[in-house]
Amino acid sequence: MVHHRHHEKLEKVLETFKEDGEKRRYNDVSFREKTLILLEKGFKTFWSYKGWIALDIIGTVVIVALYYYVSFIVSASEVEKAGYGADFFTFALIGIAFQQYTYSSIQVFSHEIRYEQENGTLEAVLSTRTEFPTFLIGVALLSFIYATYFLICSFLVAFIFFDPFITTNIFSLLSVLVLIFLSILAHICIGITSVGIIMKIKEGDPLIWLFGWLTLLLSGIYYPLGLLPLYLIPIALLLPLTYALDGIRLCLIDLPSGSETLLSPQVFNDVLALLIFITIMLPLSLKVFRWGFDEARKEGTLHAY
Amino acid sequence: MKAAILTQGLTKRFPQKVKGKKEATRGKKNMKTVVDRITIEVPNGQFLGLLGPNGAGKTTLTKMLVTLLLPDEGTALVNGYDILKEPAKVRGNIGHLHGETGGRSLYWRLSGRDNLKLFATLQEVPKEIAKKRIEAMISYFELEKIIDREVRKYSTGEKVRTMLARTLIHNPPILILDEPTIGLDAATAVETRKFFTILNRELGKTIVFTSHVMSEVEELCERIAIMDKGIILADTDPHSLSALVKEQQKILIHILNMVDKKALIKYLEDIEGVKEVVLAVERSPITEVSVVVEDELKALPILASKLGEAGYKVTSIEVEEPTLEEAFIKLTTKKRE
Amino acid sequence: MRTDELLALFREKERTALHGNINQITSVLNARLKIFLSYKIWMLVELLNSVVSIAVYYFFGVMVESEKLEAAGYGTSYLSFALIGIASQTFLWTCVARIAFVLRVELQEGTFEALNATRLKIHNFLFGQSLSGFILSMWFFTSAMLSGIFVLSASLTLTPETIITSIIIIILMILAHIGIGFIAAGGVLILKRGDPIVAVFAVLTQFLSGVLFPLEVLPPELEAVAKALPFTYALRSLRFALLTERPISDPTIIHDIIFCGIFAIALIPLGIWFFGKAHNYAKTRGTTGHY
């Protein structure tokens, strides 16, 4: 009896195999479907670590509050001199929130790859018909959504408790969206380059570290660039976050003269700088990525970390 | 009919680790050839066993076929697709299971069903077919009770069955099974092997099955390629492999209350037809001796009577069944000489 | 080595049994240090990390109104103020968090179960790991302080006396918090995942204990919470000693040291007890090997 049932089950399996047989067409499954299922996978995995979401929320509230209280001992004169209005807290809020946001777009790719390597799933995924870049985009998407959620949270916390000076001008807000989009794109280039590098060298994430340090120090997150010694300014001007923060602050802060838009020359310059950065870095980053991937496949170290 | 797999001079070298120096050093001198110009053709529907000790290059060879590893020289066609030129299509034609990674090639924080759905989509299986197939496989592998639980809560057997389902999800014509029964209990391993045979016979799937266990390969495969140090030592079938073993014949003797081992060895060695004496194990009060002879049937009565004459208390004397392992050792040493 | 030689070795009578507590702790410590040092670039990364996180406050300090700092009794240099805050806060929490973190890695790699099959006593495991955490975190602390002092010329008063006072305060600060690390490690054993307890503490103390601003700017309710945290006191005393050269006999410093001591006496046994319970729980459930 049992044997008979087992046989039946087997027949069913074989049937589903025989069905599509030779007629199988490729690309029956679209990019969108793949992205969606990877998003679902990411969300479910992420949800199983939900203890950490609470922590992230606490972290967001605390960091916003931290700079609110720091602003009590800080004079806003330097911020004002730099043209970002007279409120240090609003200045710092934007700096920190967007630094975290862009940092996550740098980090997401190498982070996801490492996660897959540590869990031993990378090779399984790479032995499917799906191409590596599709997979990367799919797994990175969730992190972007999460980072965006936190960006919004930080501003909500700030609005509810601490009264920042934020514009309500719709054109300025739209300009901010453009700037955010460009700055994410610019930072993704760095993220992809770093994946290429870590697939070749297995220790740490040197590019991201370097970038993290430089931006933290030089792109004007906590203080305006005017405080930096002159010889550091050229390095600051190589970092996309420097432009992104300048543009976003000018558009988002409710300045005495009103918030700026894309049309103001300074913001326009920021946009231009970001565009140049992307034009140079995007093809370069894809090349480095390809190189790292092939190197890892040559050395047989795809799964190693 | 085109071959399922056709490799041409497939070669892979890895930088050799130099003692005292942690970093692998570059340069030709320190490169170790792990797969050495392997050319092999696997016809459609064949069940090929790839047999070899650990470090023989089996995994490296299979990984190149799945495009996880780039060859240094040569190439291969998988179902007609070049592994270098059309890697995505190659992968679509292969179901790859790497037993050594165990359940780690599943997402442990997702349920089994989520894993199967994910891999079905990544393998571009149309939704309706995927759905039907997943259900059928859940039922066949008897995963109903656990399929909606997180994989990390599965037992080893459950993980392996889920992995098997994952490997087959896109109905690949070729299965590359790299030590798939590693870590399985005996019963599950038997079941799993049976299933591979069914896939091969009923659906004509080409199977490349790597293992370092002879009996397993002998039982399953119609063709056996023996691999060591990156080359294929022998390309044969289970029958000729057994025949090879017959060249070496052994007789196993058990003796009670033995005192002087050296005297015994000396005594046995002087008997006609004895090639070698191996004092195997002592399980007090019994001593087990293994004797290599030219012709077992001739030697058996002679040994029995000679031992009796000398006053040894023989409790049993029998012809030892030749094992495939021995054949393998013999074959590898022969090739090297 | 031939088989019979090996057998001969095993047949020898066991002469030394290494199960002294000190031996166990040092071998756990040794193994952990070796593992960490095998990550070669780690030290350099930590060094740069500390330099950058301090350098930020060098520039930031320009904007700080020093009168407000002075009014709170911490001298006039914001860089020095922030340097002590950040260095000790990071030091403390990496030290405490490392216990749970390392345990998680051991669970993942399956070595924890192997350790459990030996004569190793579980509290010796905890002490050994804590000690390694302390030594490794020391590197960040030292490099942050040194780069602050020598590269960015933070003005700390370093006399033999203030240095000894600081070391005493730091040791008590760690002892007062290490119990939290034990509890977090117990949490890892039960939950089989990274434990957020330490991270929550780290984030909260960064805000409440006045790492970046004097407590006086907080509203009274929050200030009251801050005054229940031992880190608040440790940090205050550390600053008093290094910024304004107060001696160890200063009543405030004595008060703070006693406060930390009380926490240590209460939390360390609690932590060990909890970890032991968690370990038993995992062993009854048979999950010390799972992750």
**What are B278-311's pLDDT values in tens digits?**
776 777 778 888 888 877 778 888 888 888 888 8
Specify which residues C99 forms β-bridges with: none
| Strand, coil or helix: B76 | strand
Q: How many residues does chain C have?
A: 291
How far out from the chain centre does Cα A228 lie?
A: 27
What's the average model confidence in pLDDT over A96-120?
85
Q: What's the token pair of residue A39?
A: 């998003």
| Strand, coil or helix: B211 | strand
What's the average model confidence in pLDDT over C11-23?
63
Cβ contact B68–A302 (<8 Å)? yes
Please name which of B101, B96, B76, B73 lies closest in space to residue B87, comparing C-alpha atoms: B76
What's the average model confidence in pLDDT over B247-265?
79
Report whether pLDDT(B1) > 70.
no
In Å, the largest CA–CA distance within chain C is 81
Identity of residue B2: K
Residues 6+ apart with CB under 8 A from A54: C196
Computed over its alpha carbons, how large is the radius of gyration of chain B? 25
Using CA atoms of A81, A86, A88, A90 in order, give the dihedral in degrees to the nearest 10. -120
CA dist., res. A227 & res. A237, Å (int): 14
Identity of residue B320: E
Q: C111 pLDDT band (50/70/90 cuts)?
A: confident
What pLDDT is attached to residue C270?
Answer: 94
CB distance A26 to B126 below 8 Å: no
Residues in chain B closer than 8 A to A128 (CB atoms): 91-92, 119, 122-123, 170
Place of tokens 């054993």: C189
Neighbours of C256 (CB within 10 A): 23
Q: How far is C216 from chain A (nearest CA, A)?
A: 10
Task: Output the CA–CA distances (angstroms, integers) from residue C32 to C25, C45, C106, C175, in the order listed.
Answer: 11, 19, 11, 20
Q: What's the token pair of residue B131?
A: 């759905």
What pLDDT is attached to residue C121?
Answer: 76
CA dist., res. A14 & res. A303, Å (int): 33
What's the average model confidence in pLDDT over B113-124?
87
Cβ contact A300–B60 (<8 Å)? yes
Q: What's the token pair of residue B127?
A: 């939704």
Report whether pLDDT(B24) > 50.
no
Q: Where are the beta strands (DSSP E) in B18-132?
A: 31-43, 47-51, 73-78, 81-82, 94-98
Q: What's the token pair of residue C144?
A: 């942050």
CA dist., res. B318 & res. A103, Å (int): 74
Q: A131 pLDDT band (50/70/90 cuts)?
A: confident
What pLDDT is attached to residue B6?
Answer: 93
Burial (Cβ within 10 Å: 0-12, 13-18, ≥19) of residue B146: buried
Q: A90 pLDDT band (50/70/90 cuts)?
A: very high
Cβ contact A217–C60 (<8 Å)? no
CB distance A285 to A190 below 8 Å: yes
Please name which of C90, C94, C71, C70 lies closest in space to residue C80, comparing C-alpha atoms: C70
Q: What share of chain A is helix, strand, coil (3-state, %, to 5)?
A: 80, 0, 20
Q: A98 pLDDT band (50/70/90 cuts)?
A: very high
Q: Is A75 on the interface with C (CB under 8 A)?
A: yes
Chains in touch with A (≥3 Cβ pairs < 8 A) = B, C
Specify which residues B207 forms β-bridges with: B47, B175
Residues in chain A closer than 8 A to B126 (CB atoms): 20, 28-29
Report whether pLDDT(C22) > 50.
yes
Report whether pLDDT(A270) > 90.
yes
Report whether pLDDT(B21) > 50.
no
Report whether pLDDT(B246) > 90.
no
CA dist., res. B3 & res. A84, Å (int): 70
CA dist., res. B196 & res. B78, Å (int): 20
What's the average model confidence in pLDDT over B195-224?
88
Q: Which domains does chain B have, with CATH numbers?
A: 1-93+177-246 (3.40.50.300), 107-171 (no CATH), 249-321 (3.30.70.260)
Report whether pLDDT(B336) > 60.
no
Q: A2 pLDDT band (50/70/90 cuts)?
A: very low
In Å, the largest CA–CA distance within chain B is 79
Q: Is A79 on the interface with C (CB under 8 A)?
A: yes
CA dist., res. B234 & res. B103, Å (int): 32
pLDDT more than 70, % of chain A? 94
In the 8-state DSSP scheme, what is residue B169? Answer: T
What pLDDT is attached to residue A190?
Answer: 92
* β-pair type (B223-228, B47-51): parallel
What pLDDT is attached to residue A252?
Answer: 92
Q: What are phi and psi of C181, to 5 degrees?
A: -65, -40
Report whether pLDDT(A155) > 70.
yes
Q: Is C226 on the interface with A (CB under 8 A)?
A: no
What pLDDT is attached to residue C19?
Answer: 54
Residues in chain A closer than 8 A to C191 (CB atoms): 51
Average pLDDT, chain C: 83
* β-pair type (B73-78, B223-228): unpaired
List, for residues C182-211, the tens digit of each pLDDT value.
Answer: 999 998 888 776 677 788 888 888 888 988
The domain locations on chain C are 19-285
What pLDDT is attached to residue A86?
Answer: 84
Burial (Cβ within 10 Å: 0-12, 13-18, ≥19) of residue A211: buried
List, for residues B163-176, the tens digit of each pLDDT value.
Answer: 889 988 888 899 99
CB distance A149 to A56 below 8 Å: no
Q: B158 pLDDT band (50/70/90 cuts)?
A: confident
pLDDT more than 70, % of chain C? 89
CB distance B249 to B293 below 8 Å: yes
More confident residue, C107 or A278: A278
Find the residue in A nearest to C59 (Cα): A227
Our CA angle for C173, C175, C178, nearest 5°, is: 105
Q: What's the token pair of residue C210?
A: 């006045």
Neighbours of B41 (CB within 10 A): 12
Q: C15 pLDDT band (50/70/90 cuts)?
A: low
What pLDDT is attached to residue A22?
Answer: 46
More confident residue, A202 or C66: C66
Lowest mean pLDDT, pick from A65-69, B56-60, B140-144, B255-259: B255-259
What pLDDT is attached to residue C272?
Answer: 92
CA dist., res. B162 & res. B108, Å (int): 11
CB distance C147 to C54 below 8 Å: yes
What pLDDT is attached to residue B285?
Answer: 79
What pLDDT is attached to residue B120?
Answer: 86
Query: Helix (H) and strand (E) counts for chain B?
Result: 11, 14
What pLDDT is attached to residue C290?
Answer: 53
Report whether pLDDT(B76) > 90.
yes
Q: Is C55 on the interface with A (CB under 8 A)?
A: yes
Q: A105 pLDDT band (50/70/90 cuts)?
A: confident
Task: Output the CA–CA distances (angstroms, integers) from residue C112 to B124, B152, B195, C37, C188, in the order listed.
Answer: 41, 18, 37, 20, 12
Chains A and B form CB pairs within 8 A to the count of: 136
In the 8-state DSSP scheme, what is residue A74? Answer: B
List, for residues A167-197, the tens digit of each pLDDT value.
Answer: 888 899 999 999 999 999 999 999 999 999 9
| Strand, coil or helix: B176 | strand
Report whether pLDDT(C102) > 70.
yes
